Structure 1
Amino acid sequence: MLLTTKEIFSKCYGQYAVPAVNVFFMEEIHGLFAAAQEAKAPFIVQTTPFARDYANAHMLLAMIQAAAKIYPQTVYAVHLDHGYEAHIWDAIESGGYTSVMIDASHDDLEKNIGRTKAVVEKAHAKNISVEAELGVLAGVEDDLTVEAAHSFYTNPKDVETFVNQTGCDSLAIAVGTSHGAYKFSGGQGLQLQILKEIQQRLSGFPLVLHGGSNVNEEVVRRINAAGGKLKTDAKGVQEDELKKAIALGICKVNIATDTRLLWTMVNREFFRDRPDEFAPTTPGKIFMETYKAFMLKKFELMEAVGKSLEFVICDL
């Protein structure tokens, strides 16, 4: 069942969170949909402009639509992550998306409001939800790089004005996470006091946590043992922090780095242990199962297991 993110958030606020997972290729989509159907958990499948350039938007959407037929009991939204106007207009007009994100977080508040409001007007006319962003996350995501010196937390004093003037459906906030594999190297963790103040000012309004990967130490260790050279001081969002954040209004948790690390681990170990192999399907199958197991744990952590039934019952 394809829904908007607004429809999904209407039920999860303060109770559970929905993982929003960036995808690039078929194996990821299989693993994601298979896990969601087994867990009976709603989810958001995301494509970035970078992924659309890599695979072609038509290919990505076709794979997602095919997965919905293969796994017909899934409840999900399709979201354009970190889009700029050119990407957003195409996503709105071409169809297939039920949610878009306008990332004008690098602009000043007034310009961010203006750009976001323009997107909201066009998207809402097509019943497409809009995610906006206040505050800037450091790190690397696809071809976007933001130095730590240029990142800043969301100012709670701005959130009410921003949401009221733009009409956006959810708000991504900067409360200490970062994009990419080198998160929290300073050990600061989530700034829960900022999140709490934002929630108090936006009671009941869906909040979004970007950079929500965990960066599992064991996965990094296995990658490096198989020939990788990743830094080992990265620390993502910890389970206890995530649970507290969900209680404070986080409805959507973006995941990208963790799945990339899984792909790297599976493929490095496979070709290390089986250097005579060259067929892509064998490690591909291993990756799909590893990915599915990973997502099942994420659904459980976010307490989303079984929540798809709420939407199915309402539809009936």
Structure 2
Amino acid sequence: MYVNTKEILEKASKNYYAVPAFNINNLEFLIAILQGAAEKKAPVIIETSEGAIKYAGNGDPLRGAKFFVETVKNYAETLDIPIALHLDHGKNLEYIAAAIKAGYSSVMIDASHEVFEKNLEITKEVVKWAHASGVSVEAELGQLAGIEDNVMAEENVLVDPEQAKIFVEKTGVDFLAPAIGTSHGAFKFKGEAKLDFERLKKVKELTKIPLVLHGASSVPKKFVELAEKYGANLGGAKGVPQEDIKECVKLGINKVNTDTDLRIAFLAGLRKHLLENEKEFDPRKYFKQGMEFVKEVVMERLEFLNAAGKA
């Protein structure tokens, strides 16, 4: 079932669990994710970045957005689980408009790099466009350090809970990503993760809407080690501990973004297969192990976020 992201997240918020949002760039990731979600009887959110849309459309945002909508809808119609399609970190209004026109379930307007008043103004306008087409909207307050596709910041700027309340009331945004100390990418922390749980709790109390955790990949150690066994160089890769993510869910997080974990798992499977099968040249075969590892990550994520069985 292809549904509005708001429908999935409001149910999660009401029942104190979170739904993972998995980034894709190609068909292999989509198939692996949906297989895992179907087996776990769980709702799932598929995400694409602006870069993924550009890649799929060979530079044409609308063509790329339509490709993802048509593909995800095609699969969703055959599965008895709620499936949504979300634009992650929309910064370019052309890409946001393309996603809305193509029929995405939701879009993110990320104007978090702007001052509060400008972020509010831009977000309010995007909410107006999106809601007119029945598309829900995510926004971000504060900034996450790290690099992910077209998103880059040198340091974290944590969200102000009082500003979050004003922002939600004035923009009409459907869900909010508050910066509480996570980071984008595989190399998140030099030391231990330090998330501001009290700040998160306050934001939830004041906004009362579904909240989103960005930069939330856990970077599974076993797949890092396996990828490196077969030649990858991922030294220093470190993610958010699962226990910290579980605590965030208890305090009001309902959407947990995951990209890096899938990439590392796929890389491990691809490298393993190619090095163990030197004569293999059929991509349907050498992608298979990577897809199996992606599915494994998806199923584990659905379980510890308590989304399994919530379809």
**Structure-2-length-normalised TM-score:** 0.93
Q: Tell me if the contact between 2:36 and 2:296 (Cα under 8 Å) persists in the aligned partners.
A: yes
5+ long unaligned stretches in structure 2: 58-63
In the alignment, the residues of structure 2 paired with residue 248 and residue 127 of structure 1 have an alpha-carbon distance, to the nearest angstrom, of 28
Say which of 124, 145, 149 aligns to 2:152.
145
Matching residue's letter, 1:43 = V
2:200 to 195, 202, 217: 195
State the shift of 1:195 in Å: 0.9
| CA distance in structure 2 between the aligned counterparts of 1:94 and 1:307, rounded to whole angstroms | 28
Paired residue for 1:214? Answer: 218
CA contact (8 A) 1:190 1:237 kept: no
Q: State whether structure 2 residue 249 is matched by structure 1 residue 242.
A: no
RMSD after superposition: 1.4
Q: Are 1:175 and 2:180 matched, yes or no? A: yes
User: Residue 97 of structure 2 aligns with which residue?
Assistant: 89
2:143 counterpart of 1:136: yes
Deviation at 1:289, TM superposition (A): 2.0
Could you tell me how far apart the structure 1 residues matched to 2:254 and 2:67 are? Answer: 28
Residue 230 of structure 1: which of 229, 234, 244 is its match?
A: 234
Superposition map of 1:1-316 within 5 A: 1-13=1-13, 15-56=16-57, 57=64, 58-69=66-77, 71-84=78-91, 85-95=93-103, 97-148=104-155, 151-202=156-207, 204-232=208-236, 234-308=237-311
1:291 counterpart SS class: helix
TM-aligned CA deviation for residue 283 of structure 1? 2.1
CA-CA distance at 1:248 after TM superposition: 0.9
Residue 130 of structure 1: how far off its partner (Å): 0.4
What does the per-residue CA deviation read over 1:28-80, in whole Å, with 9 as the maximum and x for residues that have no partner? 111111111111100111111000111121332332123224x4212111111
Deviation for aligned residue 1:2: 1.6
Is contact 1:105-1:135 (8 Å) kept? yes
Give deviations 1:74-95, integer Å, cap 9, x for gaps: 2111111111211111111232
CA distance in structure 2 between the partners assigned to 1:18 and 1:92 by the alignment: 22
Deviation at 1:217, TM superposition (A): 1.7
Secondary structure at the residue paired with 1:86?
A: helix
Shift of 1:184: 2.1
Structure 2 CA distance for aligned equivalents of residues 45 and 188 of structure 1: 26
Deviations 1:215-259 (A, max 9, x none): 112211221121111123x32121211111111110100000000
Q: Which amino acid aligns with 1:12?
A: A
Conserved 8 A contact 2:266-2:289: no
Q: For residues 78 and 33 of structure 1, what CA distance do their matches in structure 2 show? A: 12
Stretch of structure 1 that moved more, 215-224 or 250-259: 215-224
Partner letter of residue 165 of structure 1? K
Unaligned runs of 5+ in 1: 309-316
Q: 8 Å contact 1:33–1:74 — kept in the other structure?
A: no
Judge conservation of contact 1:189–1:237 (CA < 8 Å) in 2: no
Q: How many residues align?
A: 302
The 2-side partners of 1:217 and 1:305 are apart by 23
Q: Normalising to structure 1: TM-score of the pair?
A: 0.92
**Distance across 2 between alignment mates of 1:133 and 1:190:** 16
Contact 1:116 1:132 in 2 (8 A): yes
